[in-house]
Amino acid sequence: MGEEDRNNSSKRLLVVGLIWLVATVLAVIAVAAIQWHPFAASREAEITDDAFDLLLLFAAPVFTFVLVVGGYTLVRDRDRGTGADGAPIRTNRLFIGTWVVITTALSVLIVITPGFTGLDELRAEPEPDLIIDVRAERWNWAYTYAESGVETQGTLMLPIDRRILFRISSTDVIHSFWIPAFRIKKDAVPGQITTTMVTAEVLGSFDNQDEMRVQCAELCGVGHARMFTGVTVVEQAEFDAWLAAAGG
């Protein structure tokens, strides 16, 4: 490569680098400014949303780099006279090595955080304050409060700020226990018991709010779309009174 070719290559790298830097800054600003998440109502939702935001920040420079390099190459290196591809670009081992090292380091970082650290947060406080057995059947949800034996079907009643363990089963086909505002989703499998835990943090009755209801997220037949129940979150004293009244 001659001196002129090296100078041209350096100029192009500088141009691409500056465009990438500007694009990355704009992407990071967009990630920080835009509200990506729906309504959140649990401790688990906060952890999940924070992990999603962090992954978006990690992805922004990689996404803009691929976009800028691809776009610049498409515009700069095509044959303007014929519209055909330009001359082939030979392998740059330094570039490839740098790319592999950076992306590998980024992948390892993502595995550590939010990977392992996020899982540790979600699994913290493993001892539940309340156990609820969830039974799925076409096309209905039934809830049994394990300690009292009270069973309900119309609404899932929960106390606020209590660690709740759901033990989920199915009587027929595979269903999926999903409360969007809690960011929890767990399959209900015939012949098995699956579990998930949640801590509700928002008071209220949410019968008409799509994000705050139990829904089936697994296509289970013609009544699938109707397989949902409302969620109500109350103070502990109100929950205890409701449970005592429901138990007769």
113 & 23 share domain = yes
Give the number of domains in the chain.
Answer: 2
68 & 118 share domain = yes
8 & 50 share domain = yes
Cα atoms in the Cβ-side hemisphere of radius 13 Å centred on 211: 12
240 & 151 share domain = yes
The pLDDT tens digits for 63-114 are 999 999 889 888 876 665 555 665 666 677 887 888 899 889 999 999 998 8
**Domain assignment of residue 162, given as a range:** 130-246
7 & 116 share domain = yes
209 & 163 share domain = yes
The pLDDT tens digits for 120-165 are 888 888 899 999 999 999 999 999 999 899 999 888 999 999 999 9
Determine how many CB atoms are found less than 10 A away from the CB of residue 126: 8
Task: Find out whether 149 and 243 touch, Cβ atoms under 8 Å.
Answer: no
Bridge partner list, 168: 134, 194
CA 3 vs CA 9, 15, 88, 90: distances in Å: 10, 18, 20, 18
- State the CATH number of the domain containing residue 181: 2.60.40.420
The pTM of the full predicted model, rounded to 2 decimals, is 0.82
137 & 50 share domain = no
Confidence tier at 206 by pLDDT (50, 70, 90): confident
154 & 102 share domain = no
**Tell me, what's the pLDDT at 3?**
63
CA 49 vs CA 17, 129, 138, 157, 178: distances in Å: 31, 24, 31, 24, 16
**Tell me, what's the pLDDT at 209?**
79
Q: Is residue 226 part of a domain?
A: yes
216 & 192 share domain = yes
pLDDT of 238 over the 80 cut? yes
From first CA to last CA, the distance across the chain in angstroms is 89
* Cα 118 to Cα 93: distance, rounded to the nearest angstrom: 36
